[in-house]
Amino acid sequence: MSGIGRRTLAPFWPCLYHRIIVMKTRKPVGARNERCPDRPAKQSLAIMSERKRSFMEAALDEARAAAGRDETPVGAIIVREGTIVARAGNETRALNDPTAHAEILAIRRACAALGSERLSGCDLYVTLEPCAMCAAAISFARIRRLYFGASDEKGGAVETGPRFFSQSTCHHAPEVYSGLAETDCAEILRRFFKGKRVP
């Protein structure tokens, strides 16, 4: 099954977010487990409920809004007990802040809304595999579950690169579910960077 489903859609335009992003289709579950056999736990997305899909759609809405602001189109939401408590899109350009990734902003907003420095019991949905900075923030915030859409082979830090949650220095690892609405999440990025290419 190793050759099934792998397809390179890029490279895209070099971005402010993760240098050059290379998306690929989701690998078979067996191949993914081989790559990262210990933490974090991963489960088949085939069992994902429509409700979870709707939460990822909300994150996709944030990504589309970010694209409308000429920001790298990544969106994130945070859910607690079935309710969205925070949402954000990438705002690095608007805020002149390289740390203003969607996940970071969503975590800050959720903490403010809930009056807590930790988000135990909260789940984060994000359209792109988190980078190392965001993975660390997710760990520090004690996020319960992480759902992400497109993989980021160049800048990701969950299933690729440093695999932050699998390191011995990581003291809280969320449950991780990848590939949720992956095609839609990758397509937004592909279109955005295609539009940036020099003719």
Q: Which residues bind Zn ion (CB under 5 A)?
A: 101, 131, 134
Tokens representing 151?
A: 């993989």
Catalytic one of 62, 71, 103, 182 = 103
Q: Which is nearer to Zn ion, 152 or 182 (CB)?
A: 152
Task: Measure Cα distances from 168 to 55, 119, 162, 188 in Å.
Answer: 31, 22, 12, 34
Q: Is 103 a catalytic residue?
A: yes
Task: Measure Cα distances from 6 to 3, 41, 96, 121 in Å.
Answer: 6, 22, 36, 34
> Minimum CB separation from Zn ion for residue 146, in Å?
12
Q: Which is nearer to Zn ion, 155 or 179 (CB)?
A: 155
Question: Is 101 annotated as a binding-site member?
Answer: yes
Closest CA to 184 of 149, 148, 147: 149
Q: Which is nearer to Zn ion, 28 or 162 (CB)?
A: 162
> Minimum CB separation from Zn ion for residue 43, in Å?
23
> Minimum CB separation from Zn ion for residue 18, in Å?
8
Question: Is 111 annotated as a binding-site member?
Answer: no
Instruction: State the binding site.
Output: 101, 131, 134
Instruction: State the binding site for Zn(2+).
Output: 101, 131, 134
Q: What residues act catalytically?
A: 103
